[in-house]
Amino acid sequence: MANIVILGAGYGGMATAVALERSGQPFTLINKHEYHYFTTLLHEPAGGRNTFDEYSVPLREVLRRPSSEILKATVQELRPQDSKVITNQGELPYDYLVIALGNAPEYFGIPGMQENALVLRSLDTARQLHEHIEKTFASWHEDQDDAKLRVLIGGAGLTGIELCGELAEWLPELAAQYNLPLDKIQLINLEAAPSILPMLDEGLREEAQRVLESKGVQLRTGTAIVKVNPNQVELKSGETLDAKTIVWTGGVRANPLIKEAGFEVDPKGRAKVNEFCQSVNFENVFVIGDSAWFTGEDGKPLPPTGQAAEQMGNRVAENLQAIESGLPMQPFHFNNLGTLASLGHEVGVGSVKGVRTKGVPAALMKEGSKAKYLWHLGGLRMLSQKRGQFKRKG
Ligand SMILES: Cc1cc2nc3c(=O)[nH]c(=O)nc-3n(C[C@H](O)[C@H](O)[C@H](O)COP(=O)(O)OP(=O)(O)OC[C@H]3O[C@@H](n4cnc5c(N)ncnc54)[C@H](O)[C@@H]3O)c2cc1C
């Protein structure tokens, strides 16, 4: 059987691994951590909902067959010319490689952003952000510096808006816990584009704005950040805002290892793939999820989403089995299931398979999509284990 190596255990890598395991095909999955985390929900524990343990699952609990090898290692270099991967645990040869290494923040060259802003992209960064806010708020009594109670979120896409929704509920709780002046707490979202959540229609965007503003969030669209200093943001208008918490959610690009390896890439560093999600440069390499530059049926590059990563992972697993059986590969078609944005614990907005939804039903649909994902990973066992945790502490 072919030696298949999968890089990254996010949505794309896990989908490939789960499907291969179910088909009885052995593989090696390389990931930085021994667990898979739920990236699309990271705003929840970052903003104080539930505990961090509930947002990850050990890889061995999902991939239980001994023939599925799991290697906890950090990929340091891709050598597609030699069909090898270099990790901090040594080098690995492969017959077929699946690259699912996710993304890195896109800072758009804004000076000081990388050095001075926090990000939300992994379980570790979510925990870091959570602890930073709590520590900063808790220390306000020491010097009564109001910048400690101001939180700036750059970017009003899904990540930035969902994070605002969680923080709008958690920050007042912190105020009560640490006896802080509620009127001094400011949660400000800064977005260069003219509107929030560009993937939703205007009515849903307005609804999201109304809900967040009613929770005290200041949404400043058409407001470009031009520089970030330690604890200070400079705006294009010349205004400066002092804040001890600055978070950047304004964009992502592919993992830099891809460009460094010599793949043909788009301006976001994603490797160009054909209709089978196969690299156009190396036919034994498949690239999926946020790492892939896949041109959709509308002629535009597919935006980076968890649902696209998962669907690509499933298709690549099928294509690897087809290769193994001497059958033709099948092209990938993205099935857009829609977008749901939570706006705190109880309400949300979105559109699912073309049907618009808002308020409590949207939040319930988001909960439903979590359950569906857990079911896919590990059936009833996984669902009852994780849902039990969410229910007890949520
Ligand atoms: C807060 C938030 C909310 C979101 N909400 C939604 C949503 O509602 N709907 C939606 O469709 N999308 C959403 N997204 C986007 C979605 O999470 C990503 O598009 C998706 O995770 C991409 O999947 P992936 O498999 O390409 O990469 P990832 O899921 O990021 O997985 C990459 C994996 O590779 C590992 N890795 C990275 N580098 C290395 C290395 N050098 N060595 C070893 N391992 C490595 C990482 O640890 C990780 O496990 C959201 C993102 C965030 C941050």
Q: How high is the pLDDT of residue 394?
A: 37
Is 162 annotated in the active site? yes
For residue 37, how far is the Cα from the chain centroid? 10
Tell me the average pLDDT across 355-359.
93
| Percent of the chain topping pLDDT 90 | 90
Q: Does pLDDT of 391 surpass 60?
A: no
| Percent of the chain topping pLDDT 70 | 98
Three-state DSSP string of 190-210: ECCCCCCCCCCCHHHHHHHHH
Distance 373 CA to ligand 1 centre (A): 14
Distance 94 CA to ligand 1 centre (A): 24
Tell me the average pLDDT across 136-156.
98
Q: Taking the CA of residue 155 as centre, how many other CA atoms within 13 Å lie in the half-sphere pointing to its CB?
A: 22
Query: Are 310 and 11 in contact, with CB atoms under 8 Å apart?
Result: yes
Q: Which of 40, 89, 337 to mutate to test the pocket of ligand 1 (most atoms within 8 A of CB)?
A: 40
Q: How high is the pLDDT of residue 389?
A: 60
Q: Give pLDDT tens digits for 71-121.
A: 999 999 999 999 999 999 999 999 999 999 999 999 999 999 999 999 999
Domains 4-105+252-336 and 113-248 share a fold: yes
Q: How high is the pLDDT of residue 393?
A: 42
Q: How high is the pLDDT of residue 388?
A: 59
Out of 162, 166, 207, 310, pick the active-site residue.
Answer: 162
Please report, for residues 61, 65, 105, 154, 156, the alpha-carbon distance to residue 251 in angstroms, rounded to integers and kept in the order given.
32, 37, 6, 10, 10
Report the CATH fold assignment for 4-105+252-336: FAD/NAD(P)-binding domain (3.50.50)
Report the CATH fold assignment for 113-248: FAD/NAD(P)-binding domain (3.50.50)
Tell me the average pLDDT across 279-284.
98
Q: How high is the pLDDT of residue 149?
A: 98
Domain edges within the chain: 4-105+252-336, 113-248
**Looking at the DSSP assignment, which residues form a beta bridge with residue 338?**
352
Distance 352 CA to ligand 1 centre (A): 21
Tell me the average pLDDT across 3-12.
98
Q: Give pLDDT tens digits for 224-239.
A: 999 999 999 999 999 9
